[in-house]
Amino acid sequence: MLQRRRCVLALLAAGLPAAAVRARGTPSAPAEVAAEWPHARRVGSGRLRFLGLHVYDARLWSPGPLDAGDWATRPFALELVYARSLQGASIASRSLAEMRRQGPFDDNTSARWLTA
């Protein structure tokens, strides 16, 4: 049986903790997101498959609407539900490497996320 791990990455100005675990199928936002934004809503979701294998499900949470033209100016959180058994440190390190491919960000922020 596959273990399910969840990781909430707070991006931009949100400043949320880096990991959360909650029951599968719950339609409400993860506790860390709801604590920051009580009225957060899911604004998107999707499933990543690689060579046909289910890697993770993703849910995008925001306290308000997101638009492709101004997404970088809006707060949001990305929730990842991994379908494979992975260690938290491995997920965090790989996530940071992938985020750096999109552009640079503050080393203090990455250190804080790795610690959390």
Report the domain count for the chain: 1
pLDDT digits (tens, 9 = 90+) for 11-57: 332 333 333 333 444 468 999 999 999 999 999 999 999 899 998 99
Q: What is the pLDDT of residues 47-79, one digit of tens each?
A: 999 899 998 999 999 998 888 888 888 899 999
Element (H, E) at 8: strand 5-11
Residue with tokens 């949001």: 76
- Cα distance between the two ends of the chain: 27
pLDDT at 3: 34
How buried is 8 (Cβ within 10 angstroms: 0-12 exposed, 13-18 middle, 19+ buried)? Answer: buried
The residue segments making up the domain with residue 30 are 5-115
pTM for this predicted structure = 0.58
Question: Could you tell me if 32 and 16 are in contact, meaning their C-beta atoms sit under 8 angstroms apart?
Answer: yes
